[in-house]
Amino acid sequence: MATNSTAEQVSALMQTYSRFPISLAKGKGSHVWDTEGNKYLDFTSGIAVCNLGHVPDEVKNEVQKQLDQLWHCSNLYNIPAQEELAKLLVENSFGEQVFFCNSGAEANEAAIKLAKRYARKIKGNDSPEIITFRQSFHGRTMATLTATGQEKIQDGFSPLLPGFRYLQFNDMASLGEIRESNACAVLLELVQGEGGVIPANPAWVKELEAICREKGMLLMIDEVQTGIGRTGPLFAYEQYGIVPDVISLAKGLGSGFPIGAIIAGKEAAKGFEPGSHGSTFGGNPLAATAGLATVKAVLDGAILEKAAGLASYLDEGLAELKAKHSVVKEIRGLGLLKGIKIDGNALDIVKTAMGEGLLILTAGPDVIRILPPLTASKEEVDQFLDILDKVLNKF
């Protein structure tokens, strides 16, 4: 048996996270409690995962039923909840077919594989290149970290995979480079979350769509963070008046149960056939049940309408804070995905807020990221604004 001879005990966990010094033990709605019994207002939503709040009854009840029936079976068999969830996603999107996996990285990995295989097998393009954008974030697998336009994410993992080109986000000159390229696909976020909560310019996106149609490139939208109502409609692409070929989903799709997906149009879906891609756990009965209950709750419970009103209310409060505090330089984002650019260290503000019972996030060194549940109340937004006001007074 290996022993640790150092004076200080080393965690058995690999040190891949810089963890905050609290352990969360319970959650309900917009609040969580740590192991010491301290209560926090959670405006991180598990990084846009718990869009219905923590432990939503609509999902919990369906998952509890499924726990007594079947947890897992292979995708070699039909899974009714998976079929029903796919149908629901198709009926409420541009798409025709869905592939299920376990995470956002796996969803983007599937999108990348689909684009490359579609290019080679259907279009006959033997040098398929995928264009992504600087400051993007698409995941931590080798393909998705290569697709990510941030050197800090790629550090230490060279050689990276070939076949990716990074262009400037929201830049008209980039569109000219795309038009002149032999790329098979363009992959982008409509709000760069990890890159600073920066929304795409609508005119730029429309022109990008037109170029993709002109050149026969797949337009692939990473909706891992923006999907399932986070920015307003069910999917962010709807706000831009475009029709993508592929979107990737995860985070808010399962209310905390690991599930990811890609939705593809009929033509793009031709890139996959039996044996070309797969997943052991993807869309298993438990995860698919959670996903189905989540999407039904969002669509049937007037959640999107309520969230739109909440976003407007939050915008008004954040504008008042900006006017009051000189440390706040800019408010940006869409819907209930908000970024606050500050003159200073965002992590210091996040840590101070935690001490006041509020959980928020960073999105780069000088941006605070706000991700309240779509189900939060105006009273909880008021509580958030009061705490943040108090915190900002210290900077």
Output the pLDDT for position 127.
77
Angle at alpha carbon of residue 144, lines to 139 and 148, rounded to 5°: 80
3-state class of 253 per DSSP?
A: helix
> Does residue 247 have a pLDDT over 90?
yes
Q: Which of 194, 196, 201 is nearest to 222 (CA)?
A: 194
pLDDT cut 70: percent of the chain above it: 98
> Does residue 186 have a pLDDT over 50?
yes
| Mean pLDDT taken over the chain | 96
Per the listing, tokens 């969580």 go with: 32
CATH topology classification for 57-300: Aspartate Aminotransferase; domain 2 (3.40.640)
Q: How far apart are CA 250 and CA 256, in angstroms?
A: 10
Interval 119-157: pLDDT, tens = 999 999 887 899 999 999 999 999 999 999 999 999 999
Q: How far apart are CA 42 and CA 24, in angstroms?
A: 11
Going by pLDDT thresholds of 50, 70 and 90, the confidence category of residue 5 is very low
Distances (CA, A) of 323 to 171, 276, 320, 328, 395: 29, 54, 5, 8, 15
Sequential DSSP letters for 194-229: TTTSEEPPHHHHHHHHHHHHHHT-EEEEE-TTTTTT
> Does residue 105 have a pLDDT over 90?
yes
* Length of the chain measured in residues: 395
> Does residue 194 have a pLDDT over 50?
yes
Interval 316-359: pLDDT, tens = 999 999 999 999 999 999 999 999 999 999 999 999 999 999 99
Output the pLDDT for position 8.
63
Output the pLDDT for position 9.
75
Q: How far apart are CA 205 and CA 182, in angstroms?
A: 19
Report, as an integer, the average pLDDT of 22-43.
98
Domains 57-300 and 303-373+384-389 share a fold: no
> Does residue 6 have a pLDDT over 90?
no
The structural domains of the chain, with segments of one domain joined by +, span: 57-300, 303-373+384-389
Output the pLDDT for position 290.
98
> Does residue 71 have a pLDDT over 80?
yes
Interval 75-95: pLDDT, tens = 999 999 999 999 999 999 999
Q: Which of 182, 208, 188 is nearest to 129 (CA)?
A: 182
Report, as an integer, the average pLDDT of 367-387.
98
CATH topology classification for 303-373+384-389: Aspartate Aminotransferase, domain 1 (3.90.1150)
